[in-house]
Amino acid sequence: MSRYKGISATLCLLLAIALVVTSCAPRATPTQAPPTLAVPEPTKVPPQPSVYKIGMSEPMTGDYAAYGKSHVQAALMAKEEINGAGGINGVPIEIVVEDEAMTGDGAIAALTKLSAQGIPVILGCFGSSLVLASCKRYAEQGVVLLTSSSNVRIHDECGDWIFQWQGLDDDYARYGYVDVVEKLGLGINELAFVYTNTDYGAGVEKTFREVIESKGGKLLLSVPLQAGGKDYRAEITKLKAAKPKIIAFAGYETEATPFFKQVKELGLQAQWVGGEENIALTFGEALGDAVEGLVGIKIGNTKLPQAAKFVQNYAAKYTDQPMYGADSVYDGIHVLAKAIAQGGYTGAAIRDTIPKVAADYVGASGPKKVGTNNASPMVFQYLQWKGGKLVDWP
């Protein structure tokens, strides 16, 4: 073998050993740069608006326009008080009104117009049928509704976007009408019930009848009145034939005014028990002795200082008396201002904050604490027409 070949083989062997040793030796770890931390973007706070808009869906035309007018006036009173005290954190509120025309289609149209303006909360829907027709749209669009409608179906069918701001029909019938009937002491077997043929009237009649029957009593007659009707002589004739000692009435002033005029004309005699609408001053002034002796069930309590102040201020400002539901609207605006200030100006924030700010709120219409069904409690006061004036009863 050549000497050079031997040297080459030796070099190759040494090189191979060096490579193996080098590959097995620990490698120096290069200095690594610290990981780059993602810097979170600053939370985007919605810009504060120049005005907070609160919507109203009310019957501004038609047979129930007087209620809509009174509700809007009460809302404007609250607006002036809030803005006069600095608004919501320095931002004023504005009331935006749409006419629902007392129809389901009108309620949907009003919601559509108000929602298009970015308004996240609305007061109104004067009637259970209007709420039930439109409430799914409120949930879909993330808009809150505060309504005076007291139908017991609303929460189950509409969900948590709807707040029933004046309680429930069941409470009205069970703890209002039935309580008065029992206190009258004329028996519970000679009763009749007259009601406007709406979800509201039918709901009160249904609960009243069920409670009376559970107590061993009986309704001689239930008489529905056509909503917006003018002639009820046929219904009054039926009542006269049945001869009930007590007749309960659940209907708006629109139907009650012609009805009681015709009751007097036809000489129907009975002890009347009426609702909130039948003890409005405008109602008594229009009917005089036609409603003499009627016992009315008022939601709320005029003896509360908040209630007395509201009526006094309303009368001074508008030279008129507030109609049914106006005090509740007034309270609603004040509660909403607190909810927006505390929770923010979105539908979800207002929905979630209303129960918190309403928990200890007592206003012109009474306490507004809402329960798990999003309904405020009903507080009652009983009044009676005597000599053209309202007096405490009994």
DSSP string, 251-288: --HHHHHHHHHHHHHHT---EEEE-GGGG-HHHHHHHG
Helix (H/G/I), strand (E/B), else coil: 230: coil
Q: What percent of the chain has pLDDT over 90?
A: 73
> Position of tokens 């007749």?
247
Which CATH topology does 52-168+303-379 take? Rossmann fold (3.40.50)
Residue 42 has pLDDT above 60, yes or no: no
- Evaluate if residue 3 carries a pLDDT over 50: no
What is residue 123's DSSP assignment? E
pLDDT class of 34 with cuts at 50, 70, 90: low
Task: Decide if pLDDT at 46 tops 80.
Answer: no
CATH of 170-301+381-392, one of 3.30.43.10, 3.40.50.920, 3.40.1010.20, 3.40.50.2300: 3.40.50.2300
User: Cβ(174)–Cβ(203) under 8 Å?
Assistant: no
Tens of pLDDT, residue by residue over 192-230, are 999 999 888 998 999 999 999 999 998 999 999 999 999
User: Per-residue pLDDT averaged across 338-360, rounded?
Assistant: 97
Beta-carbon count within 10 A of 326 CB: 27
| In the chain, where the domains are located | 52-168+303-379, 170-301+381-392
Q: Could you tell me the pLDDT band of residue 169, with boundaries at 50, 70 and 90?
A: confident
Write down the pLDDT at residue 13: 37
Examine domains 52-168+303-379 and 170-301+381-392 and report if their fold is the same: yes
What pLDDT score does 248 carry? 97
Label the pairing between strands 295-299 and 380-386: antiparallel
Does 56 have pLDDT greater than 60? yes
Report cis status (omega within 30 of 0) of the bond before 120: no
Q: What is the mean pLDDT of residues 360-388?
A: 93
pLDDT band at 303 (very low <50, low <70, confident <90, very high): confident
Q: Is the pLDDT of residue 9 over 70?
A: no
CA distance 309 to 13: 110
